Amino acid sequence: MTSISVQDFNLLRQNEALNILDIRDLQDFEMSHLQNAVSVPATSLLNELNNLDKNATYYVISYSGRRSEIIASFLENHGFHAIHVIGGMRDLKELAA
């Protein structure tokens, strides 16, 4: 599984349009999320697999990075190219502060 540091992810997303899967609960997503991120709560992922493009690269982000690591691995095991964002939204917010 591929991973990216929150610092590198932040630089990349400023220069490119990325496919970002935010796997936090919908309530957390609605309170705060990244521009262009799509809400796909981890609990709903199985229902959303058919809506994902196996030719796309997905950057998977959660609150702390723990769940995104698991979900990125799951997606890769199902034929998707997924990149785990280490540190998640928590570290991204600290980086912006």
Q: How far is CA 9 from the centre of its chain?
A: 10
Confidence category of residue 95, pLDDT binned at 50, 70, 90:
confident
- Give this prediction's pTM: 0.96
Q: Which domain holds residue 61?
A: 2-96
- For helices 88-96 and 6-15, the axis angle rounded to 10 degrees is 70
pLDDT at 13: 95
Which residue reads 């799951």 in tokens? 74
Domains: count for the chain: 1
Once rounded to an integer, what is the mean pLDDT over residues 71-83?
Answer: 97
Nearest to 84 by CA among 28, 16, 23: 23
Q: Residue 88 maps to which CATH number?
A: 3.40.250.10
